Amino acid sequence: MSARNADTLIVGGGIIGLSIAWRLARTGHRVTVLERDTAGAHASRMAAGMLAATAEVGYEEFDLYALCTHSVIRWASFASELEEDSGIPVDFRSEGTMVVARDPDAARALRRAFEFQQEHGFEVQWLTRAEALEREPFLSPRIAAAVYAADDHSVDNRAVIHALVAAIRKLGGRVEEQTAVTEITMDASGSNHHVRTAPGNTEWTAPQIVLAAGAWSHGVPGLPDEVRPPVRPVKGQILTLRMEAPFKLEHVVRGARAYLVPRSDGRLVIGATSEEMGFNTELTAGGMWSILDGARELVPGVHDLPVMETNVGLRPGSRDHQPIVGWSAVPGLFVATGHYRHGVILSSATADAAADALLGRDMPTIMHPFSPTRFQTQA
Ligand SMILES: Cc1cc2nc3c(=O)[nH]c(=O)nc-3n(C[C@H](O)[C@H](O)[C@H](O)COP(=O)(O)OP(=O)(O)OC[C@H]3O[C@@H](n4cnc5c(N)ncnc54)[C@H](O)[C@@H]3O)c2cc1C
């Protein structure tokens, strides 16, 4: 059989495509990821790596909250299985998250969110200023209050990408980098779909195709129009500082205008703007200023830390800001995109559910609200 045949071809090698490939490769399934850049080079590399079900989810997003919670719980074993398969540590940290109110107005809003979270059974704890400072001494002494979310964790998403690529290859799967999909042709009889790639005008065939092209998912050439997912890029500017003694942050810290995510190797990731700017990836003074100013009012010590990196990523935002995961209306085409601000956290649940579907099993019911067919029904 030609090396360019597979059981499943995955278009896009971000954290979503790679996670699905890894879960499939573990079963002996012949899976190939086609990535036009290097694996994980886009949103998945730029992300902060928060696994934040509690702090991230809005008041009415119950289905998304259930999915995020399920994903975070799954992350502990997902991370250890990945470390085992790849031999690469992924810095899964379970210190929890401090959501901080900088002044009494912010504290009132935080209190409403806290009461809502408590009503719905989230693991949250109200902290006075003194209690918050005792847990995280580098917080500003001027903050008003904080909520401790015990179940909101973090992971080094870049390490996760390296680990996924290594694990897929060790398990016999393929990750083809610098390989851009230029045309998808879905076979009407549903059994032998074709994908063309550049450079080389190479043809690949498989009975199943997964569309996991992140912010570019809508525009992949050759997709039938009726199944093009309504996904757009949402720009995020983010930067990394280096923590230097005596400065050290133990928890993820979040405020209204910025979040700070410490890594065990001393990096401190600070993010992120959220901008509707199409595919623009320019770093701006205003973007950097707003997140640094937001971070400094919560944790003044960041002022003196050296800058290691500045970055811009494009989140794949769907029309309703919820992920799009499931079989499309075209037989053989599975969609896994639209993960917006939650692609790292949701990679675990998405990969499990997608692997179930692609291996011929039912998808877990928790994923049903996120089917791509919800947009067709609306149309
Ligand atoms: C600043 C920022 C901070 C974030 N922080 C967090 C966070 O803390 N926690 C969290 O859960 N999420 C976070 N996110 C969101 C998360 O990064 C995304 O939801 C996630 O990375 C999406 O993964 P993906 O694989 O769908 O997309 P991507 O990582 O963008 O991958 C898609 C891939 O498809 C490839 N591709 C596109 N078209 C083609 C083609 N024609 N042929 C071949 N390949 C193609 C691209 O090159 C790309 O590598 C953040 C995002 C940003 C930008």
Distance CA 43, CA 79 (A): 20
Distance CA 29, CA 312 (A): 35
Distance CA 69, CA 246 (A): 34
The number of the ligand 1 atom at minimal distance from the alpha carbon of 336 is 26
Residues 123, 186 within the same domain: no
Residue 65 lies in a domain: no
Residues 13, 148 within the same domain: no
Residue 379 pLDDT greater than 60, yes or no: no
Residue 292 lies in a domain: yes
Residues 101, 198 within the same domain: no
Query: What CATH number did the domain enclosing 177 receive?
Result: 3.50.50.60
Residue 223, ligand 1, Cβ within 6 A: no
Q: Output the residue whose Cα is nearest ligand 1's atom 25.
A: 14
Give ∠ CA 311-232-274 in degrees, rounded to 5: 45
Question: What average pLDDT does this structure show over 147-157?
Answer: 96
Residues 131, 166 within the same domain: no
Residue 121 lies in a domain: yes
Question: What average pLDDT does this structure show over 294-321?
Answer: 97
DSSP letter, residue 170: H
Q: In Å, how far are 126, 252, 276, 305 from 266, measured between CA atoms?
A: 28, 13, 32, 11
Coil, strand or helix at 339: strand
Residue 12, ligand 1, Cβ within 6 A: yes
Residues 201, 329 within the same domain: yes
Query: How confident is the model over 35-89, as pLDDT tens digits?
Result: 999 999 999 999 999 999 887 766 778 899 899 999 999 999 999 999 999 999 9
Distance 275 CA to ligand 1 centre (A): 15
Residue 84 lies in a domain: no
Residues 123, 167 within the same domain: no
Residue 253 lies in a domain: yes
Helix runs in 26-128, H state only: 43-46, 53-56, 62-86, 104-119
Question: What average pLDDT does this structure show over 321-343?
Answer: 96
Contact criterion met (CB below 8 Å) for 53 and 69: yes
Residue 339, ligand 1, Cβ within 6 A: yes
Residue 156, ligand 1, Cβ within 6 A: no
Residue 275 pLDDT greater than 80, yes or no: yes
Residue 80 lies in a domain: no
Distance 113 CA to ligand 1 centre (A): 28
The number of the ligand 1 atom at minimal distance from the alpha carbon of 154 is 8
Residue 34, ligand 1, Cβ within 6 A: yes
Q: Which of 317, 332, 366 is the last residue of a domain?
A: 317
- Residue 281: phi and psi, rounded to 5, are -125, 30
Distance 118 CA to ligand 1 centre (A): 32
Distance CA 217, CA 285 (A): 29
Query: How confident is the model over 190-214, as pLDDT tens digits?
Result: 678 999 999 999 999 999 999 999 9
User: 366 lies in which domain range?
Assistant: 8-52+158-231+320-378
Residues 148, 241 within the same domain: yes
Helix 157-170 vs helix 15-25: crossing angle, to nearest 10: 30
The structural domain count of the chain equals 2
Residue 277, ligand 1, Cβ within 6 A: no
Residues 221, 270 within the same domain: no
Q: Output the residue whose Cα is nearest ligand 1's atom 19.
A: 343
Residue 262, ligand 1, Cβ within 6 A: no
Distance 350 CA to ligand 1 centre (A): 14
- This prediction has a pTM of 0.97
Residue 74 lies in a domain: no
Residue 353 lies in a domain: yes
Encoded tokens for 318: 């769907």
* Share of residues in the chain with pLDDT > 70 (%): 98
Q: Which of 292, 317, 342 is the last residue of a domain?
A: 317
Distance 47 CA to ligand 1 centre (A): 8
Classify burial at 100, counting beta carbons within 10 Å of its beta carbon; exposed 0-12, middle 13-18, buried 19 or more. buried
Q: Select from 216, 310, 325 the residue to mutate for testing ligand 1; criterion: most ligand atoms less than 8 Å from CB.
A: 216
Q: Output the residue whose Cα is nearest ligand 1's atom 4.
A: 47
Residues 17, 124 within the same domain: no
Residues 246, 136 within the same domain: yes
Residues 241, 274 within the same domain: yes
Residue 313, ligand 1, Cβ within 6 A: yes
Closest-CA residue to 54 (of 100, 109, 107, 123): 123
Q: Which of 317, 334, 363 is the last residue of a domain?
A: 317
Residues 29, 177 within the same domain: yes
Average pLDDT, the chain: 95
Query: What CATH number did the domain enclosing 145 receive?
Result: 3.30.9.10
Encoded tokens for 17: 């495509």
Residue 175, ligand 1, Cβ within 6 A: no
Residues linked to residue 11 through DSSP beta bridges, in sequence order: 34, 211
Distance 31 CA to ligand 1 centre (A): 20
